[in-house]
């Protein structure tokens, strides 16, 4: 099957959906997504979306800018930071127009939360299910739009460039152009060709490179791997954000998040012998930026041989807590923890990828007609460490900028008609899926052991050697077996892991989320 569409959006999280809603004024939009339509990192966002609005008393855009720059540890692109913060008010207004509701206090003002690294309360939220609220309201708008079609269970395998027409394409080749994508229908096993004038990568993060992550299973770095294979520039991959407070519950994967806003509400971290420790690491205590808190927790756990630390909410107003954090309260209760009486066991877990497909201020990648938005992109906003709740904001700001740019280009682009169908000549049915599942586990073990919160030269070297073997074995399977989402994901995870290790090895100073004990 061959499909033609003006805009092909790969991914149905906040970035892809908000782009689609706007682009649909200028042409036919096709969204493909590999799972159910709402399955995404977006759906699980708890804390909220950071913004400075006219009624944010005591706060200012300049404070938000400075907090973002400080958190990014000197590596943010200041121009991009200013763009994002300055455009936040307009993008929040759009989310509200599309139906997203953010909690207000009794006086009718937004009830703003605070998270690590923020000098003020500035996080808009919908209880502790902000992402779910945004995702469902965006999807409602998408369903009602005559120019948008959303296809679920379609897995983008590779984007199409001159390479698929037989040209030799190198990273230095000028004018690499994207013409669409090869897409696997996970229900029929067929691979379709989707041709588009504009292709938008909105595939989210890569949490499942690691053994423990807060990300849902869709987060396998597919978009970054696809773009990298097509010779796009990728940036900042060493900056993996570990959230300090994922619920410690062995066997549960993904890990359930205990929002940083809980610490913003007054919860305190303690070691298992009941001692507060964050002041020993940073004067901002439990609300220091995430890199600092995650490293502190990791150090305390290692010192004591513990698997977790405590998050203490016992002194808080539990009725008020329940009003804001009902999902977290209910989750804890469901596993026998009454937070009014007991502490919550927490440990760091992979949470966010600061790097990704390198884009400019209009979300253009280094490949013509290919845009990247949301977590799969690297805009320069986050630098070496993302400020909490800046991710949803970045997604809407850059989707808007991508839309402005792409809609001005779309009329000048024609479909490429001579794209060959996907070749399936050598594919045979995979007899031993255990080879895939086992390799995925090995990969996660390698990355968690050697490329986690603390790194060393030896660990990075070892990781690279182990990854090489996994890479060779997986490429062999890829050559021989019929394509499946599991095989494609494994290949993508290995690709992304390689990019992380290479970037971590190349960075010789410690900065933000990258900490090598030998630097």
Q: Is 453 helix (H, G, I), strand (E, B) or coil?
A: coil
Q: Is 440 a catalytic residue?
A: no
Q: Alpha carbon 16 to chain centroid distance?
A: 13
Binding residue count for ligand SIN, defined by CB under 6 A: 9
Tokens linked to 85: 């913060």
Would you say the C-alpha torsion 317, 323, 329, 330 has a positive or negative sign?
Answer: positive
40 part of the interface to ligand SIN, by CB under 6 A: no
Q: Which is nearer to ligand SIN, 44 or 450 (CB)?
A: 44
**479 exposure class (CB count in 10 Å sphere: 0-12, 13-18, 19+):** exposed
11 part of the interface to ligand FAD, by CB under 6 A: yes
192 part of the interface to ligand FAD, by CB under 6 A: no
Q: Contacting ligand FAD (CB under 6 A), which of 16, 236, 285, 356?
A: 16
For 496, the enclosing helix (H) or strand (E) is: helix 485-506
Q: Which candidate in 91, 290, 386, 507 is catalytic?
A: 290
Would you say the C-alpha torsion 470, 472, 473, 477 has a positive or negative sign?
Answer: positive
Rounded least distance, CB 352 to ligand SIN, Å? 6
38 part of the interface to ligand SIN, by CB under 6 A: no
Find the angle CA(254)-CA(257)-CA(261) to the nearest 5 degrees. Answer: 165
Binding string to ligand SIN for residues 329 to 358, with x set by CB under 6 A, is what?
Answer: -----------------------x------
Give yes or no for a contact between 491 and 474, defined as CB atoms under 8 angstroms apart: yes
Q: Is 24 helix (H, G, I), strand (E, B) or coil?
A: coil
214 part of the interface to ligand FAD, by CB under 6 A: yes
Give yes or no for a contact between 10 and 181, defined as CB atoms under 8 angstroms apart: yes
Of 156, 145, 150, residue with least CA distance to 12? 150
Binding residue count for ligand FAD, defined by CB under 6 A: 43
Measure the CA–CA gap between 456 and 504, rounded to whole angstroms. 10
Measure the CA–CA gap between 141 and 197, rounded to whole angstroms. 23
Q: How many CA atoms lie within 13 A of 231 on its CB side?
A: 19
33 part of the interface to ligand FAD, by CB under 6 A: yes
Measure the CA–CA gap between 222 and 157, rounded to whole angstroms. 8
Q: Which is nearer to ligand FAD, 34 or 118 (CB)?
A: 34
Restricted to residues 259-298, the positions that interact with ligand SIN (CB under 6 A) are: 259-261
Q: Which is nearer to ligand SIN, 294 or 464 (CB)?
A: 294
- What are the residues whose beta carbons fall under 8 Å from the beta carbon of 437, sequence distance 6 or more? 486
Give yes or no for a contact between 88 and 52, defined as CB atoms under 8 angstroms apart: yes
* Residues in a beta bridge with 7: 29, 198
Rounded least distance, CB 325 to ligand FAD, Å? 12
Taking CB within 5 to 8 Å according to partner kind, which of ligand FAD, ligand SIN, none is near residue 5? none
Restricted to residues 382-401, the positions that interact with ligand SIN (CB under 6 A) are: 388-389, 391
Give yes or no for a contact between 392 and 17, defined as CB atoms under 8 angstroms apart: no
Restricted to residues 41-80, the positions that interact with ligand SIN (CB under 6 A) are: 46-47
Q: Which is nearer to ligand SIN, 212 or 389 (CB)?
A: 389
Binding string to ligand SIN for residues 419 to 448, with x set by CB under 6 A, is what?
Answer: ------------------------------
Rounded least distance, CB 279 to ligand FAD, Å? 25
Rounded least distance, CB 50 to ligand FAD, Å? 7
Q: Which is nearer to ligand FAD, 142 or 268 (CB)?
A: 142
Length of the chain: 519
39 part of the interface to ligand FAD, by CB under 6 A: yes
Q: Which is nearer to ligand FAD, 267 or 463 (CB)?
A: 267
Q: Which is nearer to ligand FAD, 48 or 244 (CB)?
A: 48
- Helix ranges restricted to H, 387-454: 391-409, 434-450
Instruction: Tell me which stretch binds ligand SIN (CB under 6 A): 254-262, 397-405, 451-459, 490-498.
Output: 254-262
Restricted to residues 182-201, the positions that interact with ligand SIN (CB under 6 A) are: none
For the chain, the first-to-last Cα distance in angstroms comes to 53
Q: b/e for 32-68, b at 16 or more Cβ within 10 A? A: bbbbebbbbbbbbbbbbbbbbbeebeebeeebbbebb
Where do contacts with ligand FAD occur on this chain (CB under 6 A)?
Answer: 10-16, 32-35, 39-42, 44-49, 130-131, 155-156, 202-205, 214-215, 218, 222-223, 257, 352, 374-375, 389-392, 395
| Catalytic annotation, residues | 290
Where do contacts with ligand SIN occur on this chain (CB under 6 A)?
Answer: 46-47, 259-261, 352, 388-389, 391
């Amino acid at each position: 099957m061959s499909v033609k569409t003006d805009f092909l959006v790969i991914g149905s999280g906040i970035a892809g959906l908000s782009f689609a809603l706007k682009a649909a004024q200028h042409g036919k939009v096709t969204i493909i997504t590999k799972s159910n339509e709402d399955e995404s990192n977006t759906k699980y966002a708890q804390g909220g979306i950071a913004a400075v609005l006219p009624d944010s008393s005591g706060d200012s855009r300049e404070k938000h800018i400075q907090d973002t720059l400080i958190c990014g540890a000197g590596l943010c692109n200041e121009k991009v930071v200013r763009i994002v913060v300055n455009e936040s008010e307009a993008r929040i207004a759009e989310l509200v127009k599309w139906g997203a509701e953010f909690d207000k206090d009794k006086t009718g003002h937004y009830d703003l939360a605070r998270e690590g690294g923020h000098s003020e309360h500035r996080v808009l939220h919908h209880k502790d299910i902000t992402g779910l609220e945004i995702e469902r309201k965006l999807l409602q708008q998408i369903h009602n739009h005559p120019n948008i079609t959303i296809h679920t269970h379609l897995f983008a395998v590779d984007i199409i460039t001159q390479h698929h027409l037989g040209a030799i394409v190198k990273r230095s080749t000028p004018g690499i152009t994207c013409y669409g994508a090869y897409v696997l229908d996970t229900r029929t096993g067929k691979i379709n060709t989707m041709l588009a004038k504009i292709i938008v990568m909105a595939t989210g993060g890569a949490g499942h490179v690691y053994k423990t992550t807060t990300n849902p299973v869709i987060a396998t770095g597919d978009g970054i791997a696809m773009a990298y294979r097509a010779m796009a520039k990728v940036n900042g991959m060493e900056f993996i954000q570990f959230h300090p407070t994922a619920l410690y519950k062995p066997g549960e994967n993904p890990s359930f998040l205990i929002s940083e806003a809980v610490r913003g509400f007054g919860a305190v971290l303690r070691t298992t012998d009941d001692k507060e420790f964050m002041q020993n690491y940073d004067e901002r205590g439990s609300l220091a930026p995430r890199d600092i808190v995650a490293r502190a927790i990791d150090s305390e756990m290692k010192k004591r041989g513990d698997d977790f630390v405590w998050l203490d909410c016992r002194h808080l107003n539990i009725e008020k807590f329940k009003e804001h954090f009902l999902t977290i309260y209910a989750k804890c209760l469901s596993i026998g923890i009454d937070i009014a009486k007991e502490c919550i066991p927490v440990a760091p877990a992979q949470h966010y990828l600061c790097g990704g497909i390198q884009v400019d201020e209009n979300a253009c990648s280094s490949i013509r007609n290919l845009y990247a938005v949301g977590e799969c992109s690297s805009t320069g906003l986050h630098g070496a460490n993302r400020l909490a709740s800046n991710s949803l904001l970045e997604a809407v700001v850059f989707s808007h900028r991508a839309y402005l740019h792409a809609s001005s280009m779309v009329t000048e682009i024609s479909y490429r008609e001579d794209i060959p169908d996907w070749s399936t000549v050598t594919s045979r049915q995979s007899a031993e899926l255990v080879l895939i599942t086992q390799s995925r586990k090995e990969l996660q073990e390698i990355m968690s052991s050697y490329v986690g919160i603390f790194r060393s030269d030896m660990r990075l070297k070892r990781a690279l050697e182990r990854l090489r073997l996994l890479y060779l074995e997986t490429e062999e399977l890829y050559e021989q077996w019929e394509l499946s989402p599991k095989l494609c994901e494994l290949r993508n995870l290995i690709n992304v892991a390689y990019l992380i290790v290479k970037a971590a090895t190349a960075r010789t100073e410690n900065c933000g989320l990258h900490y090598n004990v030998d630097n």
